[in-house]
Amino acid sequence: MSILRIVYGVGLLLAVVAAFVNVPNAALLLAILGFVASFAVLPEHHVRVIVTALALHLLSSTFDALPGVGMYVTAILANLAALVAGAALQIILRNIINRLLNPA
């Protein structure tokens, strides 16, 4: 198992734990972990990561209305959105840099 997969696993664990326990700067930590873990994302999966980041961000508050568990589901999805947003940001920045260095 590569170190990048371990970083991603730690990010997933933090996303779930931070929904139940107050973790200072959890969103920042999740974004950094996603940023680092995204180096393991293959180029053919870049669009999936970006779309997933957008979808999680837009849909994370959908489950707020569920009685009893809604706030936890919403918090987990919002934390996952922060994790994947860090990955998407790194992919987008890497693509911009590649375009600047290698104009087609």
Asked if 31 and 86 count as a contact pair (C-beta separation under 8 A), the reply is yes
Instruction: Report, as an integer, the average pLDDT of 75-101.
Output: 94
Write out pLDDT tens, residues 3-20: 888 888 899 999 999 999
User: What is the structure's pLDDT at 22?
Assistant: 94
pLDDT at 104 over 80: no
CA distance 67 to 100: 50
pLDDT, the chain, mean: 92
What single letter denotes the amino acid at residue 74? Answer: T
CA distance 33 to 63: 25
pLDDT band, very low/low/confident/very high, at 2 (cuts 50, 70, 90): confident
Hey, what are 95's tokens?
A: 């693509």
